[in-house]
Amino acid sequence: MKSCIPAKDKEEEEMNQEVPQNFIPPCQPRMSASHSAQSSYTNQRDSCPISWQPTFLPTRNSTPPETPTLPNAKLSEQHNWQALVTNVHERNAVMFNNSLMADVFFTVGLGLNQKKIPGHKFILGSGSSVFYAMLYGGLAEEVKIMEISIPDVEPAAFLNLLRFLYCDEVWIEADTVLATLYAAKKYIVPQLATACVVYLETSLSAKNACVLLSQGRLFEELELMQRCWEVIDAQAEESLTSEGFTDIDKRTLETILSRETLNTKELCVFNAVCRWAKAECVRQELSPTPQNQRRILGDCIHLIRFPAMSLEDFANGPAQSGVLTLQECHDLFLHFTAQLSPKLPFKKIGRKGLTQYRVHRFQSSAYRSNQWRYRGRCDSIQFSVDRRIFIAGFGLYGSSNATSEYKVKMELKRNGVIEGVQSTKFLSDGSSNTFPVMFESPVQIEPETFYTASVILEGKELSYFGQEGVAELQCGKVTFQFQCSSDSTNGTGVQGGQIPELIFYC
């Protein structure tokens, strides 16, 4: 996405000079050690993600310290290979996926994807209670070499499981993480399961939150489910319109539709439900007609709050969809237009949504005869938080003289990459109040990472500006840290200037 905030102007124009006392001019931010480590990660988008696949993976810019490479099965082909390894860890690594001395063979997967994988009872039994019961328990076959079929686990995931048991190594990739989590849960290997959940949490976004919620319910991962709910609530519209939403199970659909804190219009909820119903028809090999959609939805349709829609939204959407019966449409139109409306099976009150918070970084505001002016320059500030939040917009100062309209371009960037952008207008009334300017969709903010909030304002009137800013403050359960931004070319910094408020959900 091309930035709407220009780079520093090289012309020697006068910028806001009459600034509050002890104001700190734009400067290069000083990173803490933790921030320096965190900033070494960047987002890498997969070119062809599948529906539940994370949209970005944490990768390291700097080269990490090299860890000794463990030997593999090929080493055992050499004479006296045992003398070439120095410890039990390396000897076990040689045995991984090695038919040498194998006393159990697993036929894993189905069809063309099926694979035969060798194993060693002692290593497997000592690493998993399920394998111990399978290989040494009362139901174990008394044969020299056992053969076991495992059709419900993908071969790549099963190898990830064995690699962890043999080598104590965690290999997780976007396209195998859920299958690996399933294998870790099935064979009760909690350390590997935890590593999979951590990976999923770090790659969680609005695009995959609904599918990961469905998987979290399946695997009974309560912490992962809670993280998914945070994203779904705050970025409900993006989550409901994602491709992955159509892949969830019906029980997960019901829990989402019952959610009081969904931060979106009810028409968006209805459209998402219709998309899911069409996909479910295809999965059940049914024609996706409105009648079949309704039959599949059943009582789920009553979780949509049609009375909370506007009459226009209802008339142009649900009323013409064919999913509602004629009687339901008739009763809902009476609800919108008649003094006495019939009893409805739908909730009449809209969803509460999320509580909106505002962090105000200045202790006072002021105006002067020649301040604060705008000439296409950028006001910018850096910030970080100690827990995941969702920035909904900025609170901005307006005119210090009379009612005035301002044009505003604003951005939210992480490591130079634009995460959110908005171009709009707002009307100020000449007071020192702040005026909210919102992004189209809340922007997910990860903890312990610095983001840059930037605005360019255009308006005839001079505006108020903040004074006595603080570098760190608490708002609710969230701790904010602020730093000067090198992008700021109009005088805004930690101690004073524009962007007095960040509006967020948490």
Mean pLDDT of all residues in 484-488: 94
Residue extents of the structural domains in the chain: 73-171, 208-337, 356-505
> What pLDDT sits at residue 207?
92
Quote the CA–CA distance of 26 and 49 in Å, as a whole number. 40
Quote the CA–CA distance of 205 and 227 in Å, as a whole number. 10
Tell me the pLDDT tens digit for each residue of 131-150.
999 998 876 677 678 899 99
| Residue 64: strand, helix, or coil | coil
Task: Classify residue 264 as left (phi > 0), alpha (psi -120 to 50) or beta.
Answer: beta
Quote the CA–CA distance of 276 and 266 in Å, as a whole number. 15
Q: Are 456 and 392 in contact (CB under 8 A)?
A: no
Tell me the pLDDT tens digit for each residue of 66-76.
556 887 787 87
Q: Are 501 and 394 in contact (CB under 8 A)?
A: yes
> What pLDDT sits at residue 354?
92
pLDDT confidence band for 348 (50 / 70 / 90)? very high
Is the pLDDT assigned to residue 129 strictly greater than 70? yes
pLDDT confidence band for 341 (50 / 70 / 90)? confident
pLDDT confidence band for 39 (50 / 70 / 90)? very low
Quote the CA–CA distance of 170 and 190 in Å, as a whole number. 12
**% pLDDT > 90, the chain:** 68
Alpha helices in 304-361 (DSSP H): 311-316, 326-337
Radius of gyration of the chain (CA): 29
Q: Are 392 and 356 in contact (CB under 8 A)?
A: yes
Lowest mean pLDDT among 128-142, 315-329, 466-480: 128-142
> What pLDDT sits at residue 66?
54
DSSP state of 463: B
pLDDT confidence band for 27 (50 / 70 / 90)? very low
Is the pLDDT assigned to residue 50 strictly greater than 60? no
- How is residue 123 written in tokens? 């290593």
> What pLDDT sits at residue 420?
94
- Cα distances (angstroms) measured from residue 484 to each of 24, 214, 372: 8, 41, 18
Lowest mean pLDDT among 37-51, 219-233, 270-284, 445-459: 37-51
Tell me the pLDDT tens digit for each residue of 171-201.
988 889 999 999 999 999 999 999 999 999 8
| Residue 308: strand, helix, or coil | helix
Residue 207 contacts by C-beta under 8 Å, 6 or more apart in sequence? 55, 238, 239, 242, 243, 244
Number of residues assigned to the chain? 506
> What pLDDT sits at residue 159?
96
Q: Exposure of 301 by Cβ count < 10 A (0-12 exposed, 13-18 middle, 19+ buried)? A: buried
Q: Which residues of 53-63 are buried (b: 16+ CB within 10 A; e: fewer)?
A: bbbbbeeeeee
Task: Classify residue 19 as left (phi > 0), alpha (psi -120 to 50) or beta.
Answer: beta
356-505 under CATH 2.60.120.820, yes or no: yes
- Cα distances (angstroms) measured from residue 83 to each of 76, 214, 316, 370: 11, 49, 77, 82
Please report, for the chain, how many H helices and E strands are present, in that order. 15, 17
- How is residue 216 written in tokens? 């979290």
Quote the CA–CA distance of 325 and 319 in Å, as a whole number. 9
DSSP state of 462: -
Residue 142 contacts by C-beta under 8 Å, 6 or more apart in sequence? none
Mean pLDDT score across all residues of the chain: 85
Is the pLDDT assigned to residue 343 strictly greater than 50? yes
Is the pLDDT assigned to residue 255 strictly greater than 60? yes
Of the ranges 31-35, 59-63, 64-68, 262-266, the best mean pLDDT one: 262-266
Mean pLDDT of all residues in 400-417: 91
Q: Are 181 and 197 in contact (CB under 8 A)?
A: yes
> What pLDDT sits at residue 23?
41
Residue by residue, what is the 3-state secondary structure of 172-196? CCCCCHHHHHHHHHHCCCHHHHHHH
| Residue 129: strand, helix, or coil | helix
> What pLDDT sits at residue 15?
60
Is the pLDDT assigned to residue 63 strictly greater than 70? no
> What pLDDT sits at residue 14?
55
Q: Exposure of 342 by Cβ count < 10 A (0-12 exposed, 13-18 middle, 19+ buried)? A: exposed
Q: Which CATH class is domain 73-171?
A: alpha beta
Residue 158 contacts by C-beta under 8 Å, 6 or more apart in sequence? 106, 108, 109, 117, 150, 183
Task: Classify residue 125 as left (phi > 0), alpha (psi -120 to 50) or beta.
Answer: alpha
Mean pLDDT of all residues in 464-479: 93
